[in-house]
Amino acid sequence: MQSTSARLSLHCGSDHLWSTFSTSHQVHTELPGHHKPINREEFRIAIICALPLEYDAVCLVFDEFWDEDGDPYGTAPGDANTYTTGRIGDQNVVLALLQRMGKTSAASAVASMKLSYTGLRQALLVGICGGVPQTQNGFDIMLGDVIISRTIVQYDFGKRYPDRFIRKQTTTEAQSNEFRGFTVMAETMRGRNKLRQATSRLLSQLQENASKSGCGTKYVYPGLARDKLFEPNYRHKHHESPSCVCKEYHDMTSPVCDEVLTASCSELGCSSKFLVPRARSIHSQSQEDPNTSNTVHMPTIHTGSIASGDTVMKSGVDRDIIAQKEGTIAFEMEAAGIWDEIPCLVIKGVSDYADSHKHSEWQDFAAATAAATASALLMAYSEKQRARLGQFSYYQFIDSRPYYPGS
């Protein structure tokens, strides 16, 4: 958890971030969220994380915590979850960390959450996912990119016949979701650029505050050279070890030794000859911050269908078969459980390619890009609420954001 000073600096940082806009439009603070709620019923937005590392990244985008001196809200009888409460921008948010991965655990946790927080209208599922390397439109998806859900496909729910698996039709279109408009905006070139810029600035803030609170370079972009995509049928196994039998196995279904399950590509000798060349350059993922002249990372944001299931996908071949058949661009494990319980937007950073070479090196950065995107969407949501109150329009908000040179 952060120190009090880090939390304070987060608060100051966000004020600075939005000061251009706030000054020019004389923003008032009459929104429902800009005060500490009196009780649990006042919370409208939940953020749900499945992993502690996702939770840590989300905590770094909170501007203020309501539970610094202990939980003031408690829980309803029968709710075993623990929560963190606070605000991100003007929005009061209750943050839940799931006790286990998987959709059943997620569904039961959210059902309990609704017992305690009876006024919830929306949930953001924020964290990391496995990315499909290329969309059906031919766009590369790379590590650290962000995926926002348009639909969820529960890809492992269906009937297994001797010769085939037929998936039950469980594709879930976005329900009445107050964030749906932002997803649509993020599908336009202009809306996506605006969201990327806001995300980039919030990511820089997150990184700076993490550094101040002793996390060092934990959330720094690992670099394009460390973004390695292997050909889907090139397996993660011993390639050089003279003593291991799995060195000799070459087809996709042969067993590999247990050591492979935890070893890194370099330890096993996975060869760079089998890397897939990617088109994206470092220049398309960075921009100069005019305030500091520092180069900051600008995550690419994709919207699309997310494959959700109880299996950790670690096969490039199966990944591509499902992605091709279902039109999905990412794999994760909780959305299908949450989607049925509450209107939900999934925001996930790509931490691996859902293949056997999958490792944890990118997880913190990917969690940070997702947290920054969630924060940017909450900021935009606040402006939309202000527009409803007649203070100004969301489009004025969009137009008032300064562009960085060259964007």
Return residues touching Zn ion (CB under 5 A). 236, 238, 244, 246, 257, 265, 270, 357
Look at residues 57, 7, 1 and name the one whose alpha carbon lies nearest to residue 368: 57
Q: Are 120 and 43 contacting, i.e. CB atoms less than 8 angstroms apart?
A: yes
- Judged by beta carbon, residue 100 or residue 226, the one nearer Zn ion is 226
- Min. distance of Cβ 273 from Zn ion in angstroms? 13
- Min. distance of Cβ 263 from Zn ion in angstroms? 8
- Judged by beta carbon, residue 257 or residue 398, the one nearer Zn ion is 257
- Judged by beta carbon, residue 40 or residue 236, the one nearer Zn ion is 236
- Judged by beta carbon, residue 146 or residue 246, the one nearer Zn ion is 246
- Going along 335-383, which residue ranges are E strands? 344-352
Give the Cβ contact number of residue 112 at 10 Å: 18
- Min. distance of Cβ 281 from Zn ion in angstroms? 24
Helix%, strand%, coil% for the chain, nearest 5: 35, 20, 45
- Judged by beta carbon, residue 237 or residue 302, the one nearer Zn ion is 237
- Min. distance of Cβ 280 from Zn ion in angstroms? 21
Task: For residues 105 and 71, give the distance between their C-alpha atoms in angstroms, rounded to a whole number.
Answer: 23
Task: For residues 297 and 145, give the distance between their C-alpha atoms in angstroms, rounded to a whole number.
Answer: 11
Task: For residues 407 and 395, give the distance between their C-alpha atoms in angstroms, rounded to a whole number.
Answer: 19
- Judged by beta carbon, residue 29 or residue 262, the one nearer Zn ion is 262
- Judged by beta carbon, residue 114 or residue 278, the one nearer Zn ion is 278
Instruction: Measure CA 380 to chain center.
Output: 17
Long-range contacts of 242-246 (CB under 8 A, 24+ apart): none
Q: What are phi and psi of 348, to 5 degrees?
A: -135, 135
Can you spell out the DSSP letters for 254-298?
S---GGGGT--HHHHT--GGGBPP----GGGGEEE-TTT--EEE-
Strand bridging mode 91-97 / 328-332:
unpaired
- Min. distance of Cβ 342 from Zn ion in angstroms? 38
- Min. distance of Cβ 89 from Zn ion in angstroms? 41
What is the rounded (10 degree) CA torsion for 297, 302, 306, 311? -30
- Judged by beta carbon, residue 67 or residue 320, the one nearer Zn ion is 320
3-state secondary structure of 345: strand
- Min. distance of Cβ 248 from Zn ion in angstroms? 10
Task: For residues 99 and 81, give the distance between their C-alpha atoms in angstroms, rounded to a whole number.
Answer: 8
The CA distances from residue 237 to 100, 125, 268, in Å, are 29, 33, 6
- Min. distance of Cβ 269 from Zn ion in angstroms? 9
- Judged by beta carbon, residue 51 or residue 244, the one nearer Zn ion is 244
- Min. distance of Cβ 260 from Zn ion in angstroms? 5
Question: What are 244's two structure tokens?
Answer: 């291991």
Task: For residues 357 and 237, give the distance between their C-alpha atoms in angstroms, rounded to a whole number.
Answer: 9
- Judged by beta carbon, residue 244 or residue 276, the one nearer Zn ion is 244
For residue 308, the 8-state DSSP code is E
Task: For residues 19 and 96, give the distance between their C-alpha atoms in angstroms, rounded to a whole number.
Answer: 30
- Min. distance of Cβ 235 from Zn ion in angstroms? 8
- Judged by beta carbon, residue 201 or residue 236, the one nearer Zn ion is 236
Look at residues 282, 333, 284 and name the one whose alpha carbon lies nearest to residue 306: 333
- Min. distance of Cβ 318 from Zn ion in angstroms? 16
